[in-house]
A and B are shown apart, each in its own frame.
Chain A
Amino acid sequence: MADLLSVNGLTLDYATVDGRVRVLNDVSLRINKGEIVGVVGESGSGKTTIGLSIIRLLDSPPADIIGGSVTFEGKDLLKLGPSELSQFRGPGIGMVFQESLAALNPVYRTDTQLKESVEVLQRAQNSKYSDKEEMKMMVEILNDLRLDRPEWVLKKYPHELSGGMRQRVSIAMAIVEKPKLLILDEVTTGLDVYVQNRILSILKELNRRTGTAMMFITHDLLVASQICDRLYVMYAGRVMEEGNTDHILNAPAHPYTQKLFAAIPQGFVDAPPLPAPKGEAPDLRKLPTGCKFHPRCPQVMQKCKDSEPPVFETEQRSKVLCWLLEKQ
């Protein structure tokens, strides 16, 4: 199947007062048409930066793309000028941000904000809808997202809506433009499990019905594993493991992925202590030599300290950045 999006060897620095910080290092990922791909990792692993660099929302400076390419439908997005880019945003690639309260404008009602998106769609299609048609579209899209009383929601300001409703309004703003790829950055974080599950099932249904490809960025492995076809596990700006969700879930190959799963509490109160990886996420300014996970890795070898592992492919065709998988 043709790739809808492919990121090849993307390397990106943030230029800060303290010097340059490498945030993404040789990141490659691809998303097929109609696929849901998860990008998981802990804070500071660079997952949000990937999302933002695909849709080109990073300010430069501080962001500085050193190398690599982002190809969407055969065009390198990194080479496009601002006016060409705007054709891709919205109808091409849509994005939903983590904080729905910050992503929505607090002084406008839902209908005004949603209408902006509808107008973008009209410009893209070179068509003009009447006010009535616009209204109908907006009600329909909210209905699709299973919002109760769409007409009522449209007349409300963001602060008058609950977290789950707001999140669905921001999803509505993105999907009303009928994007081919939807980037979802931590959309379920901070929501209750029930609302979280509903949003996941709505997204899944949308994916099945319209074939919208999705890039699902989250720190929550459990959530990602519920909805994603394939996963990318990130650490210190690198993709440590990539593969089919079922394979990663059943047999995680990278020690980091294994530790991530082990750290999720499963048992009851009398369960043994959690086998948490020691230490915390690395400081990107002072990354260790060799494999970036080696100071926290339980299976560290001398080789890991000396040089950074290349990509190894496992039998299940997962791609893993770990010396343990080197054939003897």
Chain B
Amino acid sequence: MSNIVEVSNLTVSFIVRGGNLLLFERGGGMTNVVNDVSFNVREGETFGLAGETGSGKSVIAWALVGLMKPRSGSIKVLGKEINFRKKADVTYLRRNIGIVFQDPVGSLNPRLRVKEIIREGLIAAKTFARAEYDKRITEVVDLVGLRKSSLEAYPRELSGGEKQRVSLARAIVVPRKMVVLDEPTSSLDVSVQAQVLNTLKELKSKLNLSYFFITHDINVMKYMSDSLGILYYGKLLEVGRTYDVVTNPKHPFTARLMSNVPGLKRAKIQEQQERLTEQGSSATGCVYSKVCPRVFEKCSNSPPMFNLGSDHHAACFLYDKAG
């Protein structure tokens, strides 16, 4: 199966001054919020990215649609490497990859009607003739499961689930290869979340879409993604087929993450006497070494990705066969 997107050694930096993250502020150091991250998204599949708050998930999403320029590394879309300095390349990137943001309120212009919001996607892409706009908008509204009557509505008149469907409609109104979904359901109620997830899965097979799916909810991640990457402080710690990573986590961080996922089988909360160390990252060596229960001498170096077979990779020296 071919890859829609190939990301290799992606590094994205923010400019820092005085220890605080101040974006666009000159004269400070740089900090890598996404550090040497590589993964592929296959055609018709969902690549899930899980990680804690502040681990850099959204930054990768922004880079994938050209909202953030990589400091180094490359993003290939359908085999073509994107040069972020060339406007034509960024346009090419955006023509193939759409995005749905986390906040359904903030990402829709409150002064436009739903049909105008969706039309903006068409205007920006310039792939449809003006005369076809209305037809295409009706088609796509039908696809995402919105009522026709909501076309004339303003975002504030819609519920949270409907707003996310409008966002999705705007992302796929121009036929795209991949859609970046940045926590698309985290602000929704469970019953509405289930409806939106169903629609997403349906669209994926109907339109042969690929998804880049970000969430911190592991239950949702399991249900949605074919492959899975685990991000921690900007570093990809483990990547593999979802089933393998969830049932047989290799990296100590992934193992901890998976053991904390609440399930329906009632797992009573246990008293844990251990102190909750803040989620620190180490400046040198493995990012997880500061809090890792299985840390040893080697961890003062930065671990490369070790191949564990069947597409499963982990960045941890426990799997270093050489020594």
Contact = CB atoms under 8 A, between A and B. Distances in A.
A274 B257 CA distance: 24
A280 B264 contact: no
B264 A266 contact: yes
Interface string A276-320: 111011000000000000000000000000000000000000000
Contacts of A262: 194
B198 A276 contact: yes
Contacts of A223: 262
B301 to A, nearest CB: 25
A81 interface: no
A198 B277 CA distance: 11
Contacts of A112: none
Contacts of B219: 222, 264-266
Contact of B197 (A146, A162, A219, A274): A274
Interface stretch (B89-97, B105-113, B220-228, B306-314): B220-228
Contact of A249 (B191, B197, B260, B264): B264
A148 B277 CA distance: 6
A264 B189 contact: no
A245 B266 CA distance: 9
A260 B234 CA distance: 35
A53 interface: no
A264 B190 contact: yes
B263 interface: yes
Interface in A193-248: 193-198, 200-201, 204-205, 208, 219-223, 225-227, 245-246
B223 A200 contact: no
A163 B271 contact: no
B321 interface: no
Nearest to B222: A268
| Chain B: interface size category | 35 or more
B114 to A, nearest CB: 16
Contact of A147 (B53, B266, B276, B279): B276
A162 B278 contact: yes
A264 B242 CA distance: 18
B216 A193 contact: yes
Contact of A192 (B216, B220, B275): B216
A195 B197 CA distance: 26
A269 interface: yes
B46 A269 contact: yes
B191 A277 contact: yes
Contact of B269 (A163, A200, A269, A278): A200
The 4 tightest CB contacts between A and B, nearest first, are A276-B194, A265-B223, A263-B194, A42-B189
Given A266-B219, A268-B246, 19 more contacts: A148-B276, A191-B53, A193-B260, A194-B256, A196-B260, A204-B271, A221-B190, A223-B262, A226-B266, A249-B264, A265-B194, A265-B219, A265-B223, A269-B223, A273-B202, A274-B194, A277-B191, A280-B189, A281-B159
18 contacts: A193-B216, A193-B262, A194-B256, A195-B279, A198-B272, A198-B276, A200-B269, A222-B263, A226-B262, A226-B267, A249-B264, A264-B264, A265-B194, A265-B222, A265-B224, A266-B219, A274-B195, A280-B189
